Amino acid sequence: MATNYHRLHRTRGHPLQWPVDARQRDIDHTVIGHASRAGNDTAFGHDVSSGTHQRIASVDALRGLVVLLLIPDVYGGFSFYEMSRRHPDDPVWGALAAQFTHVPWQGLSLWDMVMPAFVLLVGVSMALSIDRRLRDGVPRGELVAHALLRSLMLIVLGLLIQMPRDTVGRELLPYVVLACALPWSRWLERWTGRQSEARDRVVGLLAPALVVCTLLGWLASDPTRLGNYDFTQILTQMGLAYLPALALMGRGVRMPLIAALSVLAAYGIAFVAYTPAADLPVRGEVLTGLASHWNNGNNLAVAVDQWLFATLPRGHPYIDDAHGYHTIEFIPLVAVMLIGVAAGRLAMEPTPRIWSVAQLAIGALAIGLVLMLLNTPLVKSLWTPSWTLVSAGLVLVALCSSMALFDAPGRAWLAYPLTVLGANALLLYVVTNVHRWRVVLLAQRLLGDALTESAYRPLLESLCALAVFWAAAALLDRWRVHLRL
């Protein structure tokens, strides 16, 4: 939703509204796309007194790095898994494939860090955006309404991406939702030369709500359209987690951290309290002792989904996910968002912000490692408490590194190759899921045998996809077009 919020210039705490410069990016923070600017955030090097605001390079760069890993091949980075399959005796391809695919069950790889990074950065954006809007006097009811709409839009997007795309119309449906995220208010203000709160409310809230409700009704009217759907897609999971995180974020730094630890404690206790069913087989590695409550195929999450999808309308019988992903994983995602909220608020403190965020990272890693010693397994598929805290801690370490590298005065330009991706991360993620095959097909036609007969074909196809998507992102960034939910 591209609701237009006026740029804010503060002098001794008194807000003065200024006309929106059409050349400036939208100030709105996003769910996957990061905030363009923070109204009075001097910690990020913004010159508040002059009214000029820059993008927060470190956060956009980190999100851009995640997108950089995703868009070549959403199933495994740069298709290293395919290269390893073609060259099974090559240790280099094998090592790269191991890092750019998910671990079978226990453990952690670089590819496993993609989702925690996205989710934690959502929390950072929530802290910067919502706290600012509350200071600016935006009613809480309006914030909740927008948050509810964001959640529904993400859930619908996740379902549409899963839907069988056997027609061009179905292939284009995700873009109907994305169109609601365009900065219509800003464009209309530029074209008409005047501001209108009523118009902003219509194009920023009512019109997107109508679109989402229509799509939900269309999907619900015939469940066969969704095939064997579930709620484990990353966008759907973030949509489910967003509202609870908003409700629990509170004020300050302590409240979101206490809420995050409480959520993880309740989640872990629920798994331990559940008695695994005797008739459900365990897939792959068999864990014992306390860890047995997190076996693949026989745990609380499996039982919840079996009940849930027996209750919901379906066109096809529910088939359990072979990799162990399940709906209630959105609960630990709430905790990760809350940790991100705490990190965002720490970053706004006048004290050295990198050290503050680093302390939070050390705390998350320490608690996660203690839980591992207590036989809580490191399982990404179920987002066990230990895995949730360890992965969040590692993302915070990466954020600290990005802050040190890109947020120093005069260094923001170094992040440009990444920030152009981070600024339109949601769009790039959807386009990659829906249309990567078209880019690969075009590359095959243009390059011919040089590509199709190459021993490095999977890698070359991924690099072609990356080049096309990066060029598109750079062009949209130059045009100041940023899709923001």
pLDDT tens digits, one per residue of 228-280: 899 999 999 999 999 999 999 998 999 999 999 999 999 999 999 999 888 78
User: pLDDT category, 317, cuts 50, 70, 90?
Assistant: confident
Decide if 463 is inside a domain.
Answer: yes
Rounded to whole angstroms, the Cα distance separating 157 from 173 reads 9
Decide if 309 is inside a domain.
Answer: yes
**pLDDT above 90 (res 47):** no
- Report yes or no: 1 and 205 within 8 Å, Cβ to Cβ: yes
HSE toward the beta carbon, residue 330, CA cutoff 13 A: 23
Decide if 316 is inside a domain.
Answer: yes
pLDDT tens digits, one per residue of 201-227: 888 899 999 999 999 999 999 988 988
What is the CA 475 to chain-centroid distance, rounded?
Answer: 22
pLDDT tens digits, one per residue of 12-23: 333 222 233 332
Residues forming beta bridges with residue 10, ordered by sequence position:
15
For residue 218, the SS3 value is helix
Q: What is the DSSP string of 100-125?
A: SS--SSBS--TGGGHHHHHHHHHHHH
Mean pLDDT of the chain: 86
Decide if 223 is inside a domain.
Answer: yes
The answer to which of 19-23, 57-61, 432-436 has the lowest mean pLDDT is 19-23
- Report yes or no: 426 and 28 within 8 Å, Cβ to Cβ: no
pLDDT given for residue 315 in this prediction: 85
**pLDDT above 70 (res 443):** yes
Beta strands 14-17 and 8-11 are antiparallel
**pLDDT above 50 (res 41):** no
pTM for this predicted structure: 0.87
Decide if 172 is inside a domain.
Answer: yes
pLDDT tens digits, one per residue of 337-367: 999 999 999 987 776 689 999 999 999 999 9
pLDDT given for residue 23 in this prediction: 28
pLDDT given for residue 43 in this prediction: 27
User: pLDDT category, 335, cuts 50, 70, 90?
Assistant: very high
Take residue 471 and report the two structure tokens written for it.
């060029």
Tell me the CA distances in angstroms from 258 to 138, 247, 251, 347, one per residue in order: 26, 13, 11, 18
Task: Please name the residues in contact with 8: beta carbons below 8 A apart, sequence gap of 6 or more.
Answer: 15, 16, 17, 18, 27, 39, 40, 132, 136
Rounded to whole angstroms, the Cα distance separating 386 from 380 reads 9
Rounded to whole angstroms, the Cα distance separating 94 from 81 reads 8
pLDDT given for residue 397 in this prediction: 98
Take residue 46 and report the two structure tokens written for it.
């913004």
Amino acid letter, 451: L
User: pLDDT category, 1, cuts 50, 70, 90?
Assistant: very low
Decide if 386 is inside a domain.
Answer: yes
Decide if 3 is inside a domain.
Answer: no
Domain extent for 425: 8-478
pLDDT given for residue 20 in this prediction: 30
**pLDDT above 50 (res 26):** no
Picking from 161, 120, 138, the residue whose alpha carbon sits closest to that of residue 17 is 138
- Report yes or no: 391 and 380 within 8 Å, Cβ to Cβ: yes
User: pLDDT category, 55, cuts 50, 70, 90?
Assistant: low
Decide if 484 is inside a domain.
Answer: no
- Report yes or no: 391 and 362 within 8 Å, Cβ to Cβ: no
Query: Domain total for the chain?
Result: 1
For residue 216, the SS3 value is helix
140-171 b/e (C-beta count within 10 Å ≥ 16 → b)? eeeeeebbbbbbbbbbbbbbbbbbebeeeeee
Percent of the chain's residues with pLDDT above 90: 67
User: pLDDT category, 434, cuts 50, 70, 90?
Assistant: very high
- Report yes or no: 185 and 200 within 8 Å, Cβ to Cβ: yes
